[in-house]
Amino acid sequence: MSELKVDKVSPRTGTYVSLNTVGSKNIIINGDMSIAQRSTAVTGKTADGYYTTDRWNHSINLGTWSIDQSTDVPSGEGFAKSHKMTCTTGASTSAGTQTYLHTRLEGQNLQYLKKGTANAESLTLSFWGKSATTTGTMTVELFDTDNSRQISKQISLTTSWTKYTITYDGDTTGTFNNDNGASLYLIFWISAGSNFNSGTLNTSWNSNTNANRAVGQTNFAVTNTELYITGVQLEAGTTASDFEFLPYDVNLRRCLRYCWKHGGEITNQYLHGQGGYNDANYLAFGLVSPPVPMRTTPSLTENGDVIVHRLNTDYTGWTWGFGTGSCLQSWWLQGNKTSHGVTAASSVVKCATTSDFILYSAEL
């Protein structure tokens, strides 16, 4: 990624020195697993979804999983959190099994890799991982969704924290779209059925053949298996550098482009002023502006009971959605409720507990 540098004259030497960079060498967002807006722990997961650490999605169609933002980390490496997956109910693979952890990357952030040209950059991945019980082979894949091309490499996952480094050659075929869509997936395979492991492992960039994606993959969907990962860094070049630790606020703002948890920080948290109509279907509404512009028009999910509060009275049971539409930087939040009991407008939205919040998602 290109870097914006600011220079000044050094008072000691009289020469120009670089002060800071805005760009990040790490393509991965939240690689240290420090941001977890949705939750820090969930259980009983058997389907796809973003659950705990921001920007890390799950494809699950084998086993039942608990997913945590863990404090188990490699000692002395500077990490405070890791992403943990525990298989609470294991299962044998079937042909269509494709269980994995992955993150998705925007094409407009990858143009400097020059993919699809003679000058395509190699990519080097580094990360820390371990399995507290089941050990074996894990496939780590890059998948180009714009051109349906992929490359797979493998590591031997052990029971101790280990730093792994993988280098992928540059791909001279197929450019990434220069837009805000998902162009590249980084995938950590957990289990793979015969549809994905019956061919020959594709260790060089090539057009996708599913059977070649995860040949030799160990089935980690075994009861009591605990998988841990942190310190994920993907960078241009053939050498892994030290992990790039970003300040918490910088990392959070990068995540907010894709997900914003509005409320739920403290008990009795007030969000913003409202107005409405005192009729059969009372409408509570107000203008909402996210901390940063979101990647695209977000979806809205209410967690718990986000209520209307007026003159020391709580009015529960509202259904929340968008009013007159939404965009990247602002939208009208509208609550609907029949037989509400509110006698006038000028109320506020309130989250009574830390389990009450509205989640706006613009994920890839």
> 251 vs 319, which has greater pLDDT?
251
- Calpha distance 158→58 (Å, rounded): 22
Question: pLDDT band at 337, cuts 50/70/90?
Answer: confident
Give the span between the Cα atoms of 67 and 43, in whole angstroms. 6
Please report, rounded to a whole number, the percentage of residues in the chain having pLDDT higher than 70: 88
Task: Give the CA angle between residues 93, 95, 100 to the nearest 5°.
Answer: 60
Q: What is the pLDDT of residue 304?
A: 95
Q: What is the mean pLDDT of residues 16-36?
A: 75
Mean per-residue pLDDT, 165-179: 98
Digit-coded pLDDT (tens) for 29-57: 999 999 999 999 999 999 999 999 999 99
For residue 295, pLDDT over 90 is answered with: yes
The type of residue at 176 is F
- C-alpha to C-alpha distance for 302 and 144, rounded to whole angstroms: 33
Give the residue, 337 or 302, on which the prediction is more confident.
302
Q: Maximum distance among all alpha carbons in the chain?
A: 74
Task: Give 89-132 pLDDT, tens digit per residue.
Answer: 999 999 999 999 999 999 999 999 999 999 999 999 999 999 99
Cα distances (Å, whole numbers) of residue 108 to 137, 148, 213, 355: 33, 17, 25, 35
Residues with Cβ within 8 Å of 345's Cβ and at least 6 positions away in sequence, in order, are 274, 275, 276, 277, 278
> In 3-state terms, what secondary structure has residue 24?
coil
- List CB contacts of 249: < 8 A, sequence separation 6 or more: none
Q: Write out the two tokens for 315.
A: 């009015």
Strand partners, 164: 127
Name every residue whose Cβ is closer than 8 Å to that of residue 282 and which is 6 or more positions away in sequence: 276, 336, 337, 338, 340, 342
Give the per-residue pLDDT at 3: 39
Closest CA to 140 of 74, 202, 76, 67: 202
Does 20 have pLDDT greater than 50?
A: no
Q: What is the average per-residue pLDDT within 240-267? A: 97
Give yes or no for a contact between 35 and 53, defined as CB atoms under 8 angstroms apart.
yes
Closest CA to 302 of 347, 354, 255, 356: 356
Q: Give bridge partners of residue 284 from the DSSP assignment.
A: 335
Q: Is 69 left (phi over 0), alpha (psi -120 to 50) or beta?
A: beta
Banded pLDDT at 293 (limits 50, 70, 90):
very high
pLDDT digits (tens, 9 = 90+) for 56-73: 999 999 999 999 999 999
Helices (H) and strands (E) in the chain, counts: 2, 25
pLDDT exceeds 70 at position 246: yes
pTM over 0.75: yes
Q: Considering the chain, what is the average pLDDT of its residues? A: 90
pLDDT in tens, 220-245: 999 999 999 999 999 999 999 999 99
